[in-house]
């Protein structure tokens, strides 16, 4: 069924074009069908519905992003705190720019997260896997050894929620968000306790 997959891809491409020009709501299935030289009804042999096409687009897009993130998580030559920093900043900047400059992308994000909450869960889950990979790598190199890596990944996500959907929570500008993320990350890495901080500083000096 390579044929079927080709058509599915064609549909996704046509829909992507329409969605990004006119928006999700203003694009009709009839239009997408016409672009693919088929009848509206025939679309349903390839996708269960309009939302599923949008989800396919989002999945394709996010999967690419995940590959990039995975590379950042295990970059050789960078210490674990640096890798975590790069990862979280990449995530912040990506969503910020995507949602900021492109109202269509914002619309699609809203629709999908409202209508398909499990998609947001999937994204979090995938990102968590990468965080765990980062920690596995850190363990291998003797940098960090969190007791329960999965739990720790969940907590890192909870603490950085504000930076994952920046424009849903606040109207802060990117520089302010970056400053805050920097601060939160520093707290997460070093903790509040003075002794812990002192030690963390020692380690940084040793590394330098």
Residue in 158, 175, 205, 208 binding its own copies, rule: CB under 8 A: 158
Regarding 175 and contact with its own copies (CB under 8 A), the answer is: no
Pick 33 or 134: Cβ nearer its own copies? 134
Burial classification of residue 118, based on how many CB atoms lie within 10 Å of its CB (0-12 exposed, 13-18 middle, 19 or more buried): exposed
Q: DSSP H helical segments within the chain, as ranges?
A: 2-22, 29-35, 40-43, 50-74, 80-101, 103-115, 117-141, 149-159, 166-169, 174-190, 194-207
Least distance to DNA from the beta carbon of 55, Å? Answer: 11
Q: Is 193 in the site for its own copies (CB under 8 A)?
A: yes
Q: Please give the structure tokens belonging to residue 59.
A: 């999945």
Residue linked to tokens 């999700």: 24
Here the tokens at position 147 are: 């007791």
Q: Given the rule CB under 8 A, which of 31-39, 68-76, 86-94, 177-185 is the region that contacts its own copies?
A: 177-185
Give the 3-state secondary structure of 101-120. HCHHHHHHHHHHHHHCHHHH
How many other CB atoms sit within 10 Å of the CB of residue 75? Answer: 13
Q: In terms of CB distance, is 42 or 121 closer to DNA? A: 42
| Among the residue ranges 24-32, 63-71, 92-100, 155-163, the one whose residues contact its own copies (CB under 8 A) | 155-163
- For position 103 contacting DNA by CB under 7 A, the verdict is no
Specify whether the CB–CB gap between 24 and 54 falls below 8 A.
Answer: yes
- Least Cβ distance, residue 25 to DNA (angstroms): 6
Q: Under rule CB under 7 A, which residues in 6-65 are in contact with DNA?
A: 25-30, 37-42, 44-45, 48-51
Q: Applying CB under 8 A, which residues contact its own copies?
A: 81, 117, 144-146, 151-152, 154-156, 158-162, 169, 171, 180, 183-184, 186-197, 199-200, 203
Q: Applying CB under 7 A, which residues contact DNA?
A: 25-30, 37-42, 44-45, 48-51
């Amino acid at each position: 069924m390579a044929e079927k997959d080709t058509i599915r891809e064609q549909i996704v491409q046509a829909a992507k074009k329409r969605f990004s020009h006119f928006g999700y709501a203003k694009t009709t299935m009839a239009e997408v069908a016409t672009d693919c030289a088929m009848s509206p009804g025939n679309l349903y042999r390839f996708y269960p519905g309009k939302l599923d096409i949008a989800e396919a687009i989002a999945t394709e897009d996010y999967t690419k992003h995940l590959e990039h993130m995975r590379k950042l998580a295990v970059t050789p030559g960078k210490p674990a705190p640096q890798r975590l920093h790069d990862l979280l900043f990449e995530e912040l900047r990506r969503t910020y720019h995507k949602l900021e400059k492109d109202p269509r992308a914002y619309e699609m994000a809203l629709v999908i997260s409202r209508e398909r909450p499990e998609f947001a869960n999937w994204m979090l889950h995938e990102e968590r896997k990468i965080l765990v990979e980062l920690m596995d790598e850190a363990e291998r190199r003797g940098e960090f050894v969190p007791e329960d890596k999965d739990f720790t990944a969940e907590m890192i996500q909870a603490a950085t929620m504000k930076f994952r959907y920046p424009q849903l929570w606040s109207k802060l500008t990117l520089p302010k968000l970056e400053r805050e993320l920097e601060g939160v990350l520093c707290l997460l890495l070093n903790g509040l306790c003075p002794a812990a901080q002192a030690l963390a500083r020692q380690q940084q000096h040793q590394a330098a």
